[in-house]
């Protein structure tokens, strides 16, 4: 039986969000996040989801929300650029954390990266006309309160043919594991934020219930056990 603290979702500000991109603690935390993504198998999980929506035709445009340092999209490009050529990749984040060498590596693989520095709410409020084949978010959606997510999802749905997010799984096991990241030599920011992320994570059909019910969407919410919780939504015509 899950504990009461896990049943109730709690969203609190994370330390990394308050640090400037060039703060040494922020650089340490981004390096920790790259290691955590490997532990959480974020890249294989994302590739499996993207392959599903790209079954009939390869994507030509991908937008990543909360792209951080761009490492996830670089890894995706490394695995799929040969099969999906000439993809235009847009990396959106509120901070300037993406190094030039990361963009150069994506470009060297044959993809075309661009960067948008903006808060997601500000970006959505600008009323963009563009529609991406796929919008991706990794460890991003859990930063928003549950009552904010319907509006966020409505904005995302208006700009994409498919959406995938991979978030922390809110479970007793994941919470216990988050308290142990210090044993992996993670820094103080990550040790604090890991626990907060799990408490703000998702379980069951929480994300599906907040996704727009209209628009001809097919939605699959599932566990990327043991640490991840995922939502994949795509238009039934795609």
Question: In the chain, what are the helix, strand and coil shares in percent, each to the nearest 5?
Answer: 40, 20, 40
d(CA 67, CA 137): 7
pLDDT for 3: 60
> Which pLDDT belongs to residue 126?
86
pLDDT at residue 5 in the model: 66
> What is the reported pLDDT for 203?
96
What is the value of pTM for the model shown? 0.95
pLDDT for the residue numbered 238 = 47
Q: Give me the average pLDDT of each 10-residue run along the chain (238 residues).
A: 73 95 95 95 97 94 97 98 97 94 98 96 84 97 98 96 97 96 96 97 97 93 94 84
Q: List the chain domain ranges.
A: 12-235
Pairing assessment for the beta strands 228-235 and 162-168 based on DSSP bridges: antiparallel
Distance CA 225, CA 87 (A): 29
Do β-strands 134-138 and 112-117 pair in parallel, antiparallel, or remain unpaired?
A: unpaired
The burial of 5, by beta-carbon neighbours within 10 Å (0-12 exposed, 13-18 middle, 19 or more buried), is given as exposed
Task: Return d(Cα 39, Cα 145) in angstroms, integer.
Answer: 26
Give the pLDDT confidence score for residue 145 in this predicted structure.
97
Report the candidate in 44, 70, 15 with the shortest Cα–Cα distance to residue 230.
44
* Burial of residue 77 (number of CB atoms within 10 Å: 0-12, 13-18, 19+): buried
- Domain 12-235: what homologous superfamily? Vaccinia Virus protein VP39 (3.40.50.150)
- What pLDDT does 2 receive? 59
Between CA 102 and CA 212 the distance in angstroms is: 34
């Amino acid at each position: 039986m899950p504990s009461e603290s896990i049943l109730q979702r709690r969203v609190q500000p994370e330390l990394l969000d308050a640090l400037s991109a060039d703060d040494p603690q922020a650089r340490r935390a981004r390096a920790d996040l790259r290691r955590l993504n490997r532990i959480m198998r974020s890249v294989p999980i994302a590739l499996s989801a993207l392959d599903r929506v790209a079954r009939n035709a390869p994507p030509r445009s991908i937008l990543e929300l909360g792209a951080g340092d761009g490492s996830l999209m670089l890894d995706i490009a490394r695995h799929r650029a040969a099969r999906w050529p000439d993809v235009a990749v847009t990396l959106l984040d509120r901070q300037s954390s993406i190094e030039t060498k990361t963009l150069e590596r994506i470009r060297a693989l044959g993809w075309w990266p661009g960067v948008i520095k903006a808060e997601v709410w500000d970006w959505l409020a600008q009323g963009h006309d563009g529609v991406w084949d796929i919008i991706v978010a990794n460890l991003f959606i859990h930063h928003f309160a549950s009552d904010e997510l319907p509006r966020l999802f409505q904005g995302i749905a208006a700009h994409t043919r498919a959406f995938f997010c991979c978030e922390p799984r809110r479970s007793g096991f994941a919470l216990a594991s988050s308290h142990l990241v210090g044993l992996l030599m993670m820094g103080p920011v990550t040790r604090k934020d890991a626990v907060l992320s799990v408490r703000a994570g998702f379980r069951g059909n929480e994300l599906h219930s907040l996704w727009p019910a209209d628009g001809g969407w097919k939605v699959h919410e599932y566990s990327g056990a043991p640490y991840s919780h995922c939502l994949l939504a795509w238009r039934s015509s795609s």
